[in-house]
Amino acid sequence: SGQLNDLAVKAGLKYFGTALGEGVINSDSQYAAILNDKSMFGQLVPENGMKWDATEPSRGQFSYSSGDITANTAKKNGQGLRCHALVWYSQLPSWVSSGSWTRESLTSVIATHMNNVMGHYKGQCYAWDVINEAINDDGQSWRDSVFLRTFGTDYFPLSFNLAKKADPDTKLYYNDYNLEYNQAKTDRAVELVKIVQNAGAPIDGVGFQAHLIVGSTPGRSQLATTLKRFTALGVEVAYTELDIRHSSLPPSSSALVTQGNDFANVVGSCIDTPNCVGVTVWGFTDKHSWIPNTFPGEGDAMLYDSSYNKKPAWTSVSSVLAAA
Ligand code: G3I
Convert the pLDDT of each residue in 133-166 to its tens digit: 999 999 999 999 999 999 999 999 999 999 999 9
| Residue 2 CA to ligand 1 centre (angstroms) | 32
The answer to whether domain 4-322 has CATH 3.20.20.80 is yes
Instruction: Please state the ipTM of this predicted complex.
Output: 0.93
Active site residue ranges: 133, 241
pTM, entire model = 0.97
**Nearest-angstrom CA–CA distance, 77 and 74:** 5
pLDDT digits (tens, 9 = 90+) for 65-111: 999 999 999 999 999 999 999 999 999 999 999 999 999 999 999 99
Q: Which of 18, 20, 48 to mutate to test the pocket of ligand 1 (most atoms within 8 A of CB)?
A: 48
Cβ–ligand 1 contact at 241 (below 6 Å): yes
Does the CB atom of residue 91 touch ligand 1 within 6 A? yes
Instruction: Break the chain into its structural domains and give their ranges.
Output: 4-322
List 84's β-bridge partners, or say none.
129
CB 298 within 8 A of CB 247: yes
Provide the mean pLDDT of the chain: 98
Query: Is 23 a pocket residue for ligand 1 (Cβ < 6 Å)?
Result: yes
**Does the CB atom of residue 243 touch ligand 1 within 6 A?**
no
Contact 192, 199 (CB under 8 A): no
Greatest Cα pair distance in the chain? 57
> Which atom of ligand 1 approaches the CA of 132 most closely?
38
Q: For residue 276, list its beta bridge partners.
A: 237
Amino acid identity for residue 197 in this structure: Q
The helix, strand and coil proportions of the chain, stated in percent and rounded to the nearest 5, come to 45, 20, 40
Which ligand 1 atom is at minimum distance from the Cα of 177?
A: 39
